[in-house]
Structure 1
Amino acid sequence: MKIAVTGARGFVGRHVLAELAHRDVDVVASYRPTGAPNGPAMARLQWVSLDLANPPEDCFTALHRPDVLLYLAWGGLPNYRSAHHVDVEMPRHFAFLENAVRNGLPALVVAGTCLEYGLQSGALAPGADTRPTTPYGIAKDALRRRLQALQAECCFSLTWARLFYMYGDDQPATSLWPSLKAAALAGRSEFPMSGGEQLRDYLAVEEVASRLARLALAPADRGPVNVCSGQPVSVREFVEGKIRQNGWSIRPSYGELPYTDYEPMAFWGEQSSSC
């Protein structure tokens, strides 16, 4: 079996490659022409340079005609409010994926986001209505809808994997976990944060990568699935737990930062049976 991975040098992509290194599979990983191959040592890994802004004439062949494409590429993050997601990212990625499908790609697993649910609260099932409020969530939801509409014309399977709150050591520095760790290791006495009462759905990036790999290894027309823990955890509980786990002396300073206005106070995912 051959799996192609776009966004392979990103936070999630690097962990996906490490997961696939333990599987009996050929991997084709893409990188931007301005970058360089960077991933685990794998005997059956081949890197290809790919510019999504200027795609090749046949995207399927450019990826060496894989059995499934695990699509993790996306730009403009972590600025979720930028119109760039709607104006540039969504049409760019749809054009690439439509080209690959029309040239013979049989299966897609695409990374979505929990922000597609918008400001809905509570446990959110994969089949729940989407009501995105940020340009990022709107763009991702629009891409899913266009791909599902494309299925009426082209025969391919689609799994839309909505990612919730991932964390890991090589996460972008502005995220909660790396910010907390950096502050603790710098010897700071306090960690400024919000009130910490939000309920979120946290999952280590290694587990996220494992689930994405399993979805790609068994491609099917699943539609939307939640890649989540299914367990609501408060931000306060997450931070205090990490401090205890690591034996740090840093103290959370609650109420120093405002709550975000584009996320509900309490929401988490209902796990999909296939994920």
Structure 2
Amino acid sequence: MEFPEVAKFDIQKINNPDIQGTGYQEGEQLGYSNLTAYIRHRDHYKCANPSCKNKDTHTVLQVHHLGLGQNPPDRSNKPGNLLTLCVKCHTPSNHKKGKFLHGCQPKVKSFKPETFMSTLYRRLIYLTGATETFGYNTQYKRDLLELPKSHHNDAFVIAGGVHQTRSTPLRIEQVRRNKRSMEQFYDAKYIDNRDGSIKSGSGLSSGRRKRNKNLSGENLRAYRGQKTSMGQRRIKRKKYPYSPSDLVRFEGNIYQVIGMQNLGTGVKLKNYPGVKNKVVNVRKVQPLLRRGGICEVIN
């Protein structure tokens, strides 16, 4: 079988005599998106210029080679040689002598904790049989589908989704089922002689001790004025009908329970119109939903 002549010479084979097969599709920029994704993450997706005045809501970030200002220039792509800059700071004028980027060599953050987690998660993948992926791969697939950045869109493309149609994400939270503490302490209240405000006893403490730690803070006991309420301990003697996060109906509307008061005779409701936390008689509310464990988030 004869093969057609496609060119007089092979440029890629000149640079790499051992190249073959898929190596022709894997150019010098292979893996560069992975590297730039790491640099932007390391720099917290912000311009590293401390004097940056870019106020754009959606700032375009680029990756800058620090070593280009050195003599001889370091053109390597090692992470310590790269920095995140916005387009308004990454300009030719800032590369000139005496400007911000000329000879710039800031200290970059260490990723020792992240390296430890990378080692640990490989063990978890081995034990569970899962398939690994990386953020830059997720971003590439998400961009192909023209999807905005979000946790549920990331999960969609990681799971192999190929269509742009989305459903509303299910947001869940863990709600405590029972409060095991049988005793509740309420701190005494005092008038602060400095400004007349009412503060708790712990807020006007001596500042010398906190449990088993000796502190050297200011002694604020001298500012305690008249006591407005006594400190007290209350013991819960029975199980209350409602727990925090339960849903009840009151005056035709649905409210979320914050807690119980007055030995279980009052229910504190969240977001009652005109009142921050309204307490109503427990007999005036109707139970709707007992929430505990893994539940859907309620706005």
TM-score by structure 1 length?
Answer: 0.17
Structure number with the higher helix fraction is 1
Larger Rg: 2
